[in-house]
Amino acid sequence: MSYTAHIDTFARDNLPPRREWPEMLFDLPDLRYPARMNCAVELLDGALLKGWRDRIALRAADGHCTYGQLLAQANRIARVLVEDMGLQPGNRVLLRGPNNPMMAACWFGVFKAGGIVVGTMPLLRAKELTEIIGKAQVTHVLCDKRLQAEVDLAAPACPTLKSIKYWYDDDAGSLDALCAKKPGSFRNVETSADDPALIAFTSGTTGKPKGTVHFHRDVIAMCDCFPRSCLKPAKEDVFCGTPPLAFTFGLGGLLCFPLRFGASTVLLERLTPDGLLEAVHKFRATICFTAPTFYRQMAPLARSHSLKTLKKCVSAGEALPDATRQLFRNATGIEIIDGIGATEMIHIFISHTPDTVRRGATGYAIPGYRATVLNPAGKPCAPGVVGRLAVKGPTGCRYLADERQKVYVQKGWNVTGDAYSMDKDGYFFYQARTDDMIVSAGYNIAGPEVEGSLLAHEAVAEAGVIGVADEERGQIVKAFVVLKLGYQKTDAVVKMLQDHVKSAIAPYKYPRAIEFVDALPRTETGKLQRFKLRTSS
Ligand code: 3UK
């Protein structure tokens, strides 16, 4: 077996068999990494070698810290893990906290000590934590003191746990107190480039959580793909946004990407659309990462904030409706960079630059990745034909001990579960999640297209579209609509919206049922939870 720094080989032992891995592509010269690499050493110790010691790395409500200070803090945390908590390389460490500087330092502390990070979203409950801890055989926990309650509830049912420490905690035995006694240096664990670095659990909306294993090299590869080819950040950039660091969209966009480029990142807890705009203004942010629903809600508020510093905005997590793209551009002058990513792929693999945007498209396979659309026989579809999106590149899906590996990876391709079409120039057009396609009277209808059409109407704040069972047609299209202020939930408005859709897209796609609601159910990552709409119908 090849070199590993892991003494505890649980994660390696529970990788899928090699024959079930996707085909990996390392065509780009930027992606040829040394056999031994630790992603935190590459990002932090590497930053000091580049002369960035005194540059600001993290910005937060109560101050900032430099690359040098972040490195020292990560080293102290690594020491606490090894010297006080008995961490062995390969052990899994659960991290739990809102986006704040200590949470960021913990990620790097675990990497440096050769541990494997299991990030968890702040809103997860004891039941979900117990499942994740059990599945990943978590041994250690580092947690923000304010999120202790659910850990306490979960712990009795988690026999693998050995040691738990809290931060932003006054206790003598807290992570903060232990760190304060340590020197800011650490002998980094020399991991192999393909030693597991993190197990990211999918923010999937149904079924048992799936853990996706990513190696040290994958963390660096995500920094060397989308940011280099589409975002093109500079040292002077200030990143900000909403995705939790436990979501790989946030881990990349709000932590690893800025540090890879010598830039700084604003870490803020629990942001609203208004709060995010305020943060852009206050921190003079230049790059923003968030979900489509945030851009939509920010557009009407944008005029009342000074956003002159903001240059680039990245949207991911779900499809960006063209109506939202237009609304945001009209309000700010910024052409949003859309990108589809997945926890299985660690980050974005289809995207575009502001100059290469094509209306209604997510973009093209970014350098390093290849993408195609497969028909039911597993062959590439002709341009314009809808099929299953399949992708391969320098990163890919490796589920931790999970039969569903064979569903996600087919013939070397990562099959994301999205229905897409591709045009003759290689631009990819999102339709729906494969299992969300609506079939009504023999027609295939993609809910997001109907949502997009509704969102273009001035009365509509938000829309979610699903298929509901119907005796005559099999399914009918049903829309859940949040109206803007000043519009009434009346039959006349129903008729107006139906007529609008009929005139904007093929009439058979119009929502035969419309229900007005005050809000749509969403995940912590901004995704619409269609299954909740289905069960409420
Ligand atoms: C959907 C999109 C259309 C799509 C993610 C960027 O979302 C991320 O990861 P998840 O595992 O979900 C993956 C699924 O979400 N999706 C994401 N982005 C788009 N659909 N247009 C988009 N731009 O169904 C995909 O299969 O939660 C996104 C970076 C890292 C991520 N983990």
The model's pLDDT over 308-360, given as tens digits with 9 standing for 90+, comes to 999 999 999 999 999 999 999 999 999 999 999 999 999 999 999 999 999 99
Span 18-29, mean pLDDT?
Answer: 95
Whether the CB of 249 sits within 6 Å of ligand 1: yes
| pLDDT of amino acid 206 | 62
| pLDDT of amino acid 351 | 98
CA 279 to centroid of ligand 1, rounded, Å: 25
Span 41-56, mean pLDDT?
Answer: 98
The model's pLDDT over 410-434, given as tens digits with 9 standing for 90+, comes to 999 999 999 999 999 999 999 999 9
List the residue whose alpha carbon is closest to atom 10 of ligand 1. Answer: 342
* DSSP bridge partners of 392: 370
Q: What is the CA radius of gyration of the chain?
A: 23
For the chain, give the percent of residues with pLDDT over 70: 99
Confidence class for position 204, pLDDT limits 50, 70, 90: low
Q: How many CA atoms lie within 13 A of 114 on its CB side?
A: 21
| pLDDT of amino acid 450 | 96
List the residue whose alpha carbon is closest to atom 27 of ligand 1. Answer: 203
CA 318 to centroid of ligand 1, rounded, Å: 6
One-letter amino acid at 81 equals: L
Whether the CB of 337 sits within 6 Å of ligand 1: no
CA 212 to centroid of ligand 1, rounded, Å: 14
- Going from the C-alpha of 116 to that of each of 36, 84, 260, 397, 468, the distances in angstroms are 16, 17, 20, 17, 43
Helices first, then strands: H and E counts in the chain: 19, 25
The model's pLDDT over 208-259, given as tens digits with 9 standing for 90+, comes to 889 999 999 999 999 999 999 999 999 999 999 999 999 999 999 999 999 9
- Going from the C-alpha of 115 to that of each of 40, 78, 387, 499, 532, the distances in angstroms are 11, 9, 40, 57, 36
How does DSSP assign 116-176, residue by residue?
EEEEE-TT--HHHHHHHHHHHT--EEEEEGGGHHHHHHHGGG-TT--EEEEES--STTSHH
List the residue whose alpha carbon is closest to atom 12 of ligand 1. Answer: 342
| pLDDT of amino acid 304 | 83
List the residue whose alpha carbon is closest to atom 2 of ligand 1. Answer: 318
In contact, 94 and 116? CB cutoff 8 Å:
no
The model's pLDDT over 471-486, given as tens digits with 9 standing for 90+, comes to 999 999 999 999 999 9
Q: What is the DSSP letter of 27?
A: -
3-state secondary structure of 459: coil
* DSSP bridge partners of 388: 374, 419
Span 171-180, mean pLDDT?
Answer: 97
How does DSSP assign 348-407, residue by residue?
EEEE--GGG--TT--BEEPTT-EEEEE-TTSSBPPTT--EEEEEEBSS---BSS-TTHHH
Nearest CA to 103 among 45, 46, 175, 42?
Answer: 175
pTM across the whole model: 0.96
Whether the CB of 317 sits within 6 Å of ligand 1: yes
Whether the CB of 430 sits within 6 Å of ligand 1: yes
The model's pLDDT over 434-474, given as tens digits with 9 standing for 90+, comes to 989 999 988 999 999 999 999 999 999 999 999 999 999 99
List the residue whose alpha carbon is closest to atom 21 of ligand 1. Answer: 319
Lowest mean pLDDT among 104-118, 199-213, 360-374, 381-395: 199-213
Nearest CA to 255 among 83, 103, 444?
Answer: 103
Among 201, 314, 343, 352, name the best residue to mutate to test ligand 1's pocket (greatest count of ligand atoms within 8 A of Cβ).
Answer: 343
Confidence class for position 205, pLDDT limits 50, 70, 90: low
Residue 35, pLDDT > 90, answer yes
Domain 441-536 class, CATH top level: alpha beta
One-letter amino acid at 530 equals: R
Nearest CA to 163 among 137, 133, 139?
Answer: 139
Q: What is the mean pLDDT of the chain?
A: 96
List the residue whose alpha carbon is closest to atom 25 of ligand 1. Answer: 342
Confidence class for position 289, pLDDT limits 50, 70, 90: very high
Residue 88, pLDDT > 80, answer yes
| pLDDT of amino acid 105 | 98
The model's pLDDT over 371-401, given as tens digits with 9 standing for 90+, comes to 999 999 999 999 999 999 999 999 999 999 9
